[in-house]
């Protein structure tokens, strides 16, 4: 045998399909057109289409850089205590009984993705005792694509519940409730706390109450993903309303929390997982098991983003500045929603477009079909995901007219 011959590999593996979202982004970056528009990626942009570092983050960043007491030592396995405790108060409420009675196990994670993974992994090892069979998670149809893969990767069966009604471009509350009614006791129900991704359609408070009633009666387990608190409406308490309502019903539950969007700390990967248990003793046991799982996967979470968040959440002056930054971001998104709606109405674009302003948060499910998406990308250099979801943050006063005209054209012809 020639010395240059290649031995067969021990790996029997095929090339995985590329991530659809990042494939769209790559195509956008490679497009030389000066008119190209990116409304695909869920990251905030200012009116110039540029990333925006929150002023309060800039201020804290400068303070941390000049702090002679800071070092680069490991954080505890469960994270920075000032970060996890203040994060829990932010999302659960500073006066929550669960916090006062030490029934919350909080662990710092690799942003919201890490929180979802650690929560799913924990439940795969320690499923709800009300479960009568193999653990199953119900996710909305549609949902953030990572949800399905995260749970499947830890061996939890994934089912879907109806959520988005393509006829009304709103919530299919009847289908949602019917799916909960048919779910086995102990099933995990994954819920978007606010600013549903990808649809931008949230239940009303009355609808949340209906959802909670079925979950309580059927002994289902709520698993909240909270990636947009304060970013969705500009009101931190309003965006956490559903979680706090479920807590008021005495439910044990799990909350995944991300600070990517509401602090603009996308690359710092700051997040937390909060598990609310029935007793202090169970909570202590839960946290110990979370630490065991965390140790074997990442050992210790990253410090820098958590330090920024902790500094802001624990300083009243900085906190107030942050809430102003949140209103700036959420306010611009709302302005773009209204501007797009007004322009489509002005153009007489076929169809109804009130869903653009009725939806909330970073994303909007436009109702564009895959063929219309393909056409708008090919002919107008507008980049979005094939399901018609757009990031409202990608729109600004410089491209809103062009985008609306492109939508109008493809709706009429595709």
Q: Could you tell me which residues come within 8 angstroms of residue 374 by beta carbon, excluding any fewer than 6 positions away?
A: 386, 414
Measured CA to CA, the distance from residue 290 to residue 266 in angstroms comes to: 24
CA distance 109 to 112: 7
342 is catalytic: no
Q: Is 282 left (phi over 0), alpha (psi -120 to 50) or beta?
A: alpha
Pairing of strands 253-258, 270-276: antiparallel
* Residue 165: strand, helix, or coil: strand
CA quadruple 142, 145, 148, 149: dihedral, nearest 10: 170
Q: Identify the sign of the CA torsion 413, 375, 170, 182.
A: positive
The total number of residues written for the chain in this structure: 414
What is the H or E stretch that residue 331 is in? Answer: helix 316-347
Q: What is the DSSP letter of 129?
A: T
Structure tokens at 260: 């990517």
DSSP bridge pairs for 122: none
Confirm whether 165 is a catalytic residue. no
Widest Cα–Cα separation across the chain = 74
Q: Annotated catalytic residue: which of 144, 208, 322, 353?
A: 144
Give CA–CA dist 400/212, Å, rounded.
39
In degrees and rounded to multiples of 5, residue 367 shows phi and psi of 95, 0
| From 38, 172, 202, 225, active-site residue | 225
Catalytic site residue from 172, 202, 239, 261? 261
Residues 118/293, Cβ–Cβ less than 8 Å: yes
159 carries an active-site annotation? no
Question: CA 149, CA 109: separation in Å to the nearest integer?
Answer: 18
Task: Name the residues annotated as catalytic.
Answer: 144, 225, 261
């Amino acid at each position: 045998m020639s010395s240059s011959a290649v031995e067969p590999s021990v790996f029997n593996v095929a090339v995985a399909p590329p991530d659809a979202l990042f494939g769209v982004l790559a195509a956008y970056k490679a497009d030389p057109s000066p008119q190209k528009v990116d409304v695909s990626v869920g990251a905030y942009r200012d009116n110039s289409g540029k990333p925006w570092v929150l002023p309060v983050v800039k201020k804290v960043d400068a303070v941390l850089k000049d702090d002679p007491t800071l070092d680069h030592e490991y954080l505890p396995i469960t994270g920075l205590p000032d970060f996890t405790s203040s994060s829990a108060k932010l999302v659960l409420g500073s006066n929550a009984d669960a916090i006062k009675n030490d029934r919350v196990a909080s662990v710092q994670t690799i942003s919201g993705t890490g929180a979802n993974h650690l929560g799913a992994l924990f439940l795969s090892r320690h499923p709800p005792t009300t479960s009568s069979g193999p653990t199953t998670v119900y996710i909305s149809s549609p949902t953030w694509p990572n949800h399905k893969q995260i749970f499947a990767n830890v061996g939890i069966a994934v089912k879907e519940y109806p959520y988005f009604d393509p006829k009304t471009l709103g919530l299919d509350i009847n289908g949602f409730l019917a799916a909960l009614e048919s779910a086995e006791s102990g099933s995990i129900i994954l819920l978007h706390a606010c600013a549903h991704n990808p649809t931008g359609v949230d239940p009303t408070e009355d609808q949340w109450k209906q959802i909670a009633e079925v979950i309580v009666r059927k002994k289902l387990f709520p698993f909240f993903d909270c990636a947009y608190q304060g970013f969705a409406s500009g009101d931190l308490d309003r965006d956490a309303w559903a979680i706090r309502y479920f807590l008021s019903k005495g439910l044990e539950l799990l909350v995944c929390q991300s600070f990517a969007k509401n602090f603009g700390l996308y690359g710092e990967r700051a997040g937390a997982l909060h598990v609310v248990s029935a007793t202090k003793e169970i909570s202590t046991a839960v946290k110990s098991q979370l630490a065991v799982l965390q140790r074997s996967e990442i050992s210790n979470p990253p410090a820098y983003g958590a330090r920024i968040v902790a500094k802001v959440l624990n300083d009243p002056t900085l906190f107030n500045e942050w809430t102003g930054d949140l209103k700036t971001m959420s306010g611009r998104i709302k302005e773009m929603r209204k501007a797009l709606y007004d322009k489509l109405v002005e153009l007489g674009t076929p169809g109804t477009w009130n869903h653009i302003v009725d939806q909330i948060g970073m994303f909007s499910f436009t109702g564009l079909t895959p063929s219309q998406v393909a056409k708008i990308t090919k002919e107008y250099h507008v980049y979005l995901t094939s399901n018609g979801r757009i990031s409202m943050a990608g729109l600004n006063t410089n491209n809103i007219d062009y985008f609306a005209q492109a939508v109008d054209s493809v709706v009429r012809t595709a």
